[in-house]
Amino acid sequence: QVQLVESGGGSVQAGGSLRLSCAASGRTFSSINMGWFRQAPGKEREFVAAISRYGGNTYCADSVKGRFTISRDNTRNTAWLQMISLKPEDTANYYCAASNTLGGVTTTPTYWGQGTQVTVSS
């Protein structure tokens, strides 16, 4: 069992930056792959970024590549999503996710956080 709690959401103007945090508990943090998804009203939840167990491999959706960076610190059981050059279309509820496999965390994560709202105004 893994519990995930997101924080750091808020409102920011277009072009601004925001960093989301995900605190994990339960299983040993280094044993799970971490990821981020987002869901805007009326839209399906979509993959944003993922990071492997020890941080050696990261993947980002094309829509955020070059603007978002995912990272983790296994000594703190925490993962982050650093977002820069934010656009109004980035507005969504952002969810932290975890899975035993890297492929799983990009498609069908086993564990989910409650979400944190990010609103980008123009």
CB 87 within 8 A of CB 64: no
pLDDT in tens, the chain (122 residues): 899 999 999 999 999 999 999 999 987 888 899 999 999 999 999 999 999 999 999 999 999 999 999 999 999 999 999 999 999 999 999 999 999 999 999 999 999 999 999 999 99
Tokens (6 digits) for 31: 């044993």
Nearest to 24 by CA among 69, 60, 68, 75: 75
Q: Where are the alpha helices (DSSP H) in the chain?
A: 102-107
DSSP annotation of 1 reads -
Tokens (6 digits) for 96: 């932290």
Q: Residue 21 half-sphere exposure, CB side, CA atoms within 13 Å?
A: 7
